[in-house]
Amino acid sequence: MCGIVGAIAQRNVAKILLEGLSRLEYRGYDSSGVAINNETGVRAHRAVGKVQALKDKFEAEPLDGKIGIAHTRWATHGKPTEANAHPHFSGPDLALVHNGIIENHDVLRRELKAKGYEFKSETDTEVIVHLVHEALKSEPNFVQAVKNALESLHGAFAIAVTLNDENERLVVARQGSPLVVGVGIEENFVASDQLALLHVTDQFIFLEEGDVAELTRDGVTVWDKDDIIQERPISVFNHNVDATDKGEFRHYMLKEIYEQPTVVAACLEGRLSHERVLTSCFGANSEFLKQVENVHIVACGTSYHAGMVAKYWIEDMANIPCTVEVASEYRYRKVAVPKNTLFLTLSQSGETADTLAALRMAKELNYLTTLAICNVPSSTLVRESGLTLLTKAGAEIGVASTKAFTTQLTALLITSIAIAAEKGELSDAKQAELVQALRSLPAYLDAAIKQDSTIQVVAEQFANKHHALFLGRGPMFPIALEGALKLKEISYIHAEAYPAGELKHGPLALVDEDMPIITMVPHNVMLDKLKSNLQEVAARGGELFVFADKDTDLHSEEGVTFTEVPKVDAILEPIVHTIPLQLLSYHVAVVKGTDVDQPRNLAKSVTVE
């Protein structure tokens, strides 16, 4: 989604802003722009496509100045053109960048046009800058004028505004879209996320909903939603700064796939004793584990798939009902909440607009408590949830989620075991066995990754495919959904996933020699049933790609490509079987030459509805 960077310093900020934009590229965007404020006025460059195109413009015609704002735009209102790229101007001295959506922009545009404002873009953003301009006519104080203008807006936004006057400052505001202030020495910054500013500071102030802030070189003043000045705490960033470095890897996605044994170990660290899950990992208030009688899981995309796996674990181990729903559906319906229901959200970013809206709605309902399983400790989701279990995957840059998913599954398995044990549904011996299995997970993930070069060869067979079908049974069905999502996200191959038992009820009609079928075969009671499903495919000339352990007795033959996955405890199968599917999608995308880390049309953090 759109990204914002802003800076006010004693030095030229152009390089800082351009580097910040490069660091935001992972979020997904289609155009970019920078406005620099100096004694000659506010001047801008904008470009369609990669940030490099903007850098080329700076190379050809440098803009220097000590105050500036910058933006990567992910088109919502109006195509990705230079005219629609931010910053937008009202007059020569006032420029603004915006992340989010202004829902009443049509009405505001009509009103502003009636007042004589001319619009140069199709964006909803342009109404904001004209509103600030209009407000400045009756309110000379820049901060107050911005506050007055914001009162007319409906929707979600984060903005940064610069005005060329004698009071050098940036004004920023947040309502519904994340914004973080970076604190420096005689310089201050703002951005949509911390990663954009790690080259200039590691000290951050997280703005809260409704905050407006004024940034000068000497300080930051924050007003809350009730217009009261607040001292927001400064946090020090403690992720590994090298997260933004690809190291020896060709793509962030591959690096993140390879990091999984390490980050899953980090996710387990301090959460297991020799034979138990330590309930203290949920914080001081872990009483809910005993009380919970129902679980509602709400999430989007890959995080939703992790939730679907957890349903199998929770119902099986804790013997309580669990529902899983996509946040964009949950937030718009009337939900029945049985007594003692846990509301559980899953999110890598903790900034997904639909998941946040679902959490806010749930907080008005009669839930036992809200628990967020999330990767970003400073995120809105973490700050607004009752309880948190961090996944500790480290910064994930590739748009296609990989290590965030396997760490979510690990955290969900910890949670499922804890609920089951606290409710007396799990014997001590069984819990010890599960904990033992969890401890061995990083080593199994490592073994699964060792199949990389074999999977790279398999991927070549997908180079000319346009469709693919993923099959799974039980908890492998959500893994099939996740495999299909990965393949379509980065290789643009149309992929569907079905529970294998549904094959005969429709999808079998699609099966022919052009339709590869990918299936993960668990070594459990469903093995024989799944083998029959595979026979049905083979009999129709379908090309099978089977991922299974040696003991399944499956092997490569005419029309069947067998890839070995390490044999693991049944409870770990969904996590370990995810690895070959991630690697398959990755290598197919590389063979097809797509933009693996920033696939077209997608954003890393979906901060608008």
Residues 6 or more apart in contact with residue 367 via CB below 8 angstroms: 296, 337, 341, 342, 343
Q: List the catalytic residue out of 66, 147, 255, 604.
A: 604
C-alpha 298: how far from chain center: 14
Hey, what amino acid is at 220?
V
**How many chain residues interact with ligand AGP (CB under 6 A)?**
15
Q: Binding of ligand AGP at residue 302 (CB under 6 A)?
A: yes
User: What is the closest distance, in whole angstroms, from the C-beta atom of residue 298 to ligand AGP in the complex?
Assistant: 10
Considering the complex, state which of residue 69 and residue 372 has its C-beta at the smaller distance from ligand AGP. 372
User: What is the closest distance, in whole angstroms, from the C-beta atom of residue 597 to ligand AGP in the complex?
Assistant: 11
Look up residue 20 and give its two tokens.
């910040």
| β 543-548/560-564 pair status | parallel
User: What is the closest distance, in whole angstroms, from the C-beta atom of residue 345 to ligand AGP in the complex?
Assistant: 8
Considering the complex, state which of residue 117 and residue 206 has its C-beta at the smaller distance from ligand AGP. 206
HEC per residue, 362-410: HCCCCCCEEEEEECCCCCHHHHHCCEEEECCCCCCCCCCCCHHHHHHHH
- Taking CB under 6 A as the criterion, the residue among 268, 300, 411, 579 binding ligand AGP is 300
Question: Taking the CB of residue 91, how many other CB atoms lie within 10 A of it?
Answer: 15
Considering the complex, state which of residue 485 and residue 548 has its C-beta at the smaller distance from ligand AGP. 485
- Give the up-direction half-sphere exposure of residue 320: CA atoms within 13 A in the CB hemisphere: 27
Please identify, among the stretches 2-10, 346-354, 560-568, 570-578, the one whose residues bind ligand AGP according to the rule CB under 6 A.
346-354
Hey, what amino acid is at 492?
Y
- Taking CB under 6 A as the criterion, the residue among 72, 99, 192, 352 binding ligand AGP is 352
Please state, in angstroms and rounded to a whole number, the distance separating the CA atoms of residues 560 and 377. 44
Considering the complex, state which of residue 87 and residue 483 has its C-beta at the smaller distance from ligand AGP. 483
Please state, in angstroms and rounded to a whole number, the distance separating the CA atoms of residues 255 and 608. 28
Considering the complex, state which of residue 355 and residue 416 has its C-beta at the smaller distance from ligand AGP. 355
Residues 6 or more apart in contact with residue 83 via CB below 8 angstroms: 120, 121, 122
Considering the complex, state which of residue 260 and residue 348 has its C-beta at the smaller distance from ligand AGP. 348
Hey, what amino acid is at 512?
D
Considering the complex, state which of residue 169 and residue 604 has its C-beta at the smaller distance from ligand AGP. 604
Please identify, among the stretches 7-15, 143-151, 229-237, 347-355, the one whose residues bind ligand AGP according to the rule CB under 6 A.
347-355
Considering the complex, state which of residue 18 and residue 306 has its C-beta at the smaller distance from ligand AGP. 306
Please state, in angstroms and rounded to a whole number, the distance separating the CA atoms of residues 303 and 326. 9
C-alpha 318: how far from chain center: 29
- Taking CB under 6 A as the criterion, the residue among 349, 370, 391, 431 binding ligand AGP is 349
Q: Which residues are bridge partners to 107 per DSSP?
A: none
Please identify, among the stretches 175-183, 348-356, 424-432, 443-451, the one whose residues bind ligand AGP according to the rule CB under 6 A.
348-356
Residue list 446-505, contact with ligand AGP (CB under 6 A): 489
User: End-to-end CA distance of the chain, in Å?
Assistant: 11
Q: Which of 592, 595, 353 is nearest to 468 (CA)?
A: 592
Please state, in angstroms and rounded to a whole number, the distance separating the CA atoms of residues 513 and 539. 11
Considering the complex, state which of residue 162 and residue 415 has its C-beta at the smaller distance from ligand AGP. 415
Residue list 589-608, contact with ligand AGP (CB under 6 A): 605-606
Please state, in angstroms and rounded to a whole number, the distance separating the CA atoms of residues 609 and 607. 7
Look up residue 203 and give its two tokens.
């000290």
- Taking CB under 6 A as the criterion, the residue among 301, 442, 474, 580 binding ligand AGP is 301
Judge contact between 64 and 38, C-beta under 8 A.
yes
Please state, in angstroms and rounded to a whole number, the distance separating the CA atoms of residues 307 and 107. 40
Residue list 182-241, contact with ligand AGP (CB under 6 A): none
User: What is the closest distance, in whole angstroms, from the C-beta atom of residue 578 to ligand AGP in the complex?
Assistant: 12
Considering the complex, state which of residue 483 and residue 522 has its C-beta at the smaller distance from ligand AGP. 483
Residue list 137-176, contact with ligand AGP (CB under 6 A): none
Residue list 374-413, contact with ligand AGP (CB under 6 A): 399-401
Look up residue 323 and give its two tokens.
């529902």
Look up residue 138 and give its two tokens.
């009756």
User: What is the closest distance, in whole angstroms, from the C-beta atom of residue 587 to ligand AGP in the complex?
Assistant: 16
Backbone angles phi, psi at 39, to 5 degrees: -60, -20
Please state, in angstroms and rounded to a whole number, the distance separating the CA atoms of residues 62 and 492. 38
User: What is the closest distance, in whole angstroms, from the C-beta atom of residue 599 to ligand AGP in the complex?
Assistant: 8
- Taking CB under 6 A as the criterion, the residue among 348, 407, 519, 563 binding ligand AGP is 348
Considering the complex, state which of residue 535 and residue 601 has its C-beta at the smaller distance from ligand AGP. 601
Residue closest to ligand AGP (Cβ) = 301
User: What is the closest distance, in whole angstroms, from the C-beta atom of residue 263 to ligand AGP in the complex?
Assistant: 15
The burial class, CB within 10 Å (0-12 / 13-18 / 19+), for 335 is middle
2 in active site = yes
User: What is the closest distance, in whole angstroms, from the C-beta atom of residue 277 to ligand AGP in the complex?
Assistant: 23
User: What is the closest distance, in whole angstroms, from the C-beta atom of residue 408 to ligand AGP in the complex?
Assistant: 8
- Helix or strand or coil: residue 480? helix
- Taking CB under 6 A as the criterion, the residue among 31, 347, 415, 607 binding ligand AGP is 347
Binding mask 69-108 for ligand AGP (x = CB under 6 A): ----------------------------------------
User: What is the closest distance, in whole angstroms, from the C-beta atom of residue 605 to ligand AGP in the complex?
Assistant: 6
Q: Binding of ligand AGP at residue 544 (CB under 6 A)?
A: no
Please identify, among the stretches 53-61, 196-204, 349-357, 536-544, the one whose residues bind ligand AGP according to the rule CB under 6 A.
349-357
Q: Binding of ligand AGP at residue 303 (CB under 6 A)?
A: yes
Look up residue 591 and give its two tokens.
């063979």
User: What is the closest distance, in whole angstroms, from the C-beta atom of residue 607 to ligand AGP in the complex?
Assistant: 9
- Taking CB under 6 A as the criterion, the residue among 194, 355, 451, 582 binding ligand AGP is 355
- Helix or strand or coil: residue 36? strand
Please state, in angstroms and rounded to a whole number, the distance separating the CA atoms of residues 24 and 598. 11
Four-point Cα dihedral 128, 84, 156, 604, nearest 10? -150
Considering the complex, state which of residue 303 and residue 578 has its C-beta at the smaller distance from ligand AGP. 303
Question: Taking the CB of residue 471, how many other CB atoms lie within 10 A of it?
Answer: 29
Please identify, among the stretches 81-89, 115-123, 265-273, 294-302, the one whose residues bind ligand AGP according to the rule CB under 6 A.
294-302
300 in active site = no
Residues 6 or more apart in contact with residue 419 via CB below 8 angstroms: 289, 292, 295, 314, 317, 318, 320
Q: List the catalytic residue out of 2, 267, 300, 322.
A: 2
Q: Which residues are catalytic?
A: 2, 604
Contacting residues toward ligand AGP, per CB under 6 A: 300-303, 347-349, 352, 355, 399-401, 489, 605-606
